Structure 1
Amino acid sequence: MDIKQLEVFVAVAKHKSFSKAARELFLTQPTVSSHIQNLEMELHTVLLNRSNKTITITDSGKLLYNHAIVILNDCKKALYDIKEYSGKIEGSIHMVCSSIPEAFILPDFLNKFCYKYPNINFTVNHCDSNLVIPEILSERATFGIVGSKTKHSHVDYYDLIDDELVLICPKGTNIENTDGFIDKSKLKDLIYIMRKEGSGTRNLILKTLQSVGINIYSLNTRAIVESNEAIIEMVKSGLGCSFVSKVSVQDMINRNEIDHYYIKDLKFVRNFYFLFSKKKIFTPTENKFLEFFKEYYGITLLDDDLK
């Protein structure tokens, strides 16, 4: 049993896919299969069930996986300590974000972090808020930033920054308003472009409107769209109106390219959250990132969370 075999096994177990593991490790799929077969022969046990299209981990595989994570992290720590001793801090960090954090929160932070640690690189994947937890728990990603909170006993959430949604409309819509505030009764007269189900933005819209007896499904919705950027462009072109994060359209508002409104007696306010698995054993590089992140945003983490 060698380190490469363990690395391949962990990658297959995380992705539940030989092909995805091969892409991550820059190996061919036959090479990945060969490593797994040799490891199983050496240990005289089956680590992965391959009988169905979906790969599952056997009980023996789960046992090895826990040990393999510790072994690989120890190897990474050894390399990190040696490189740190020689004055070079490097490594890789995997993150997952919903659309607004990915586009409007993370870039500025990463720019400052990479200025201080230029040899640390990142993989940042996008997915809806409700899909971030599976990515974190499967260790396909170490850290996440999302716009909605789903309680889970194995995940720690920390408040990051506040966000506010505004109603944006094509320029010249001219809805009856008082200092930019419109009555909620006017909402039924508009045509909407909505985010798809699962996004933190849509969840906030749904809950806020429900609180005043408005069913989101009763509104005249012309399109359901995945991308926040696409929605903004559709509104700008005159296709309809939408509720979007104010931070994502502030520049357009400043340039007077779209109309925007608030709703009387309604506040579309949420937090963005930073999260990670309680079970995750951080590498030194990940710890360095976590320390910088909490200092940058003023987040207070318990000492246990850094172990």
Structure 2
Amino acid sequence: MEFRQLETFVAIAKFKSYSKAAESLFLTQPTLSNHIINLEKDLGTTLINRSNKQISLTPAGKILYDYAVEILHVKENVGFKLDEYRGHFVGHIEIAASTIPEQYILPSFLTGFKKQYPDVTLTLRHLASDKIIDGILTEEYNLGVVGSKTTHGHLTFHSLTEDELALVVPNNEAYQAYETEIPWSELIKKPFIFREQGSGTRKLFEAALKKNNLGFRDLKVAAYIENTEVIKKCIMDGMGVSILSKRAIQQELLNDSLKALEIPDMMLTRHFYLVHHKYRTLSPLEIRFKEYLMEHSE
């Protein structure tokens, strides 16, 4: 039984896909399959069900999985401690982040961490907040940064920074009459551009609407768009208005291409959180990155 075989086995269990596991380990699929076949021969048992399209672990595979994760963690810890002793850190960290953290918050953190640990490679994945949380629970990701918090007992959330949202409108004659806010009677007449379902920004606005006894049915929906930069361009072109983080429109506010308005009786503030699984051990490098974020966040 070799470390590479265990890494292959854990990756297949994690991704439930031979192709994704091979990609994550930078292996070809035939090499990946050979590792699993040889591991099963070494242990004298079948570890992965191959009778259907969906990959799953056999009872023996489920027994091995927890031990394999533990063995690999011990290996990683030993390597980290030796790197620490030599003053030379090497490894890889993957972070999943929702739109605003990915585009406007994490870049400076990643740059600072990279300067401190130049031989550590970083991967930043972009997903909606709910997909990140699902990925943490299913062990697809270890670390995530999200704009909404759940009460799931298997998750730990660490507050990183606060965020303020606003109604973003084009800075043109049609909106010159609104200096700082827009009344509800006028707002419901405006076409809205919304983020995709599962977005933390959209969830916050939906909750705020509900508190005011309103819902999407009371608004004119122009479009659903996932990309914040595209939404900003559509607002400038006159398609509609949207709820966006003020972090995303700093440049546009400075050059007067967009305008941020408040909505009466609607508080649109939130926190961004670092999230990880409460009962799964982070790698030493992931712990170091978590500590770095906590130390340098607001």
The one-letter code of the counterpart of 1:142 is N
Q: Does 1:268 align with 2:283?
A: no
Partner of 1:92: 92
The answer to whether the aligner puts 1:31 opposite 2:34 as a matched pair is no
What code does the residue aligned with 2:225 have?
V
Secondary structure at 1:263's aligned position in 2?
coil
Preserved CA contact (<8 Å) 1:15 1:140: yes
TM superposition shift of 1:177: 5.3
SS in 2 for 1:145: strand
Contact map agreement 1:93 1:142 (CA 8 A) in 2: no
SS of equivalent to 1:222: strand
Match of 1:301 in 2: none
Kindly report which structure 2 residues correspond to 1:59-78, keeping only aligned pairs within 5 A, or say none: 59-78=59-78
Offset at 1:45?
Answer: 2.2
Q: Give the Cα separation in 1 of the matches to 2:137 and 2:244.
A: 29
Residue 205 of structure 1 is matched in structure 2 by 205
Residues matched between the structures, number? 298
Compute the TM-score of the two structures, normalised by the length of structure 2.
0.95
CA distance in 2, matches of 1:235, 1:288: 40
Measured in 2, the distance between the counterparts of 1:295 and 1:132 equals 23
Q: Alpha-carbon deviation of 1:205? A: 1.1
State the 1:269 CA deviation: 1.4
Aligned partner of 1:171 in structure 2 is: 171
1:163·1:269 contact (CA, 8 Å) conserved in 2?
Answer: yes
Identity fraction in percent: 39
SS at 2:262 equivalent = strand
Deviates more, 1:176-185 or 1:4-13: 176-185
Contact 1:176-1:182 within 8 A present in 2 as well: no
- 1:146–1:272 contact (8 Å) kept in structure 2: yes
Indicate conservation of the 8 Å contact 2:156/2:276, yes or no: yes
**CA contact under 8 A between 2:169 and 2:175: conserved in structure 1?**
no
* Matched AA of 2:119: N
Matches within 5 A, 1:1-307: 1-175=1-175, 179-297=179-297
State how far apart, in whole Å, the 2-side matches of 1:198 and 1:287 are.
Answer: 27
Cα distance in 2 for residues equivalent to 1:162 and 1:84: 33
Contact 1:94 1:140 survives alignment (8 Å): no
Output the CA distance in 1 between the equivalents of 2:267 and 2:52. 48
How far apart, CA to CA, are the structure 1 residues paired with 2:63 and 2:220? 53
Instruction: Give 1:160's aligned amino acid.
Output: L
Q: 1:173 Cα deviation (Å)? A: 4.8
Matches of 1:224 and 1:250, distance apart in 2: 22
Instruction: Please say which of residues 143-152 and 170-179 is displaced more in the overlay.
Output: 170-179
Query: What's the secondary structure of 2:162's corresponding residue?
Result: strand
Unaligned stretches of 5+ residues in structure 2:
none
Deviation at 1:14, TM superposition (A): 0.5
CA contact (8 A) 2:130 2:198 kept: yes
* Superimposed CA distance per residue, residues 38-58 of structure 1 (whole angstroms, 9 cap, x where no aligned partner): 212222222222222221122
Name stretches of at least 5 consecutive residues in structure 1 with no aligned partner.
299-307
Does the residue aligned with 1:181 lie in a helix, a strand or coil? coil
Over residues 266-307 of structure 1, what are the superposed CA-to-partner deviations in whole Å (9 max), with x where a residue is unaligned?
111111111111122222222221222221126xxxxxxxxx
Q: Take 2:271 and 2:31, find their aligned partners in 1: how far apart are those partners?
A: 45
1:282 is paired with a residue whose SS is coil
Counterpart CA distance in 2 for 1:43 and 1:217 is: 59
Aligned mates of 1:244, 1:178 — CA distance in 2? 18
Query: Secondary structure of 2:121's match?
Result: strand
Alpha-carbon distance, 1:134 to partner: 2.4
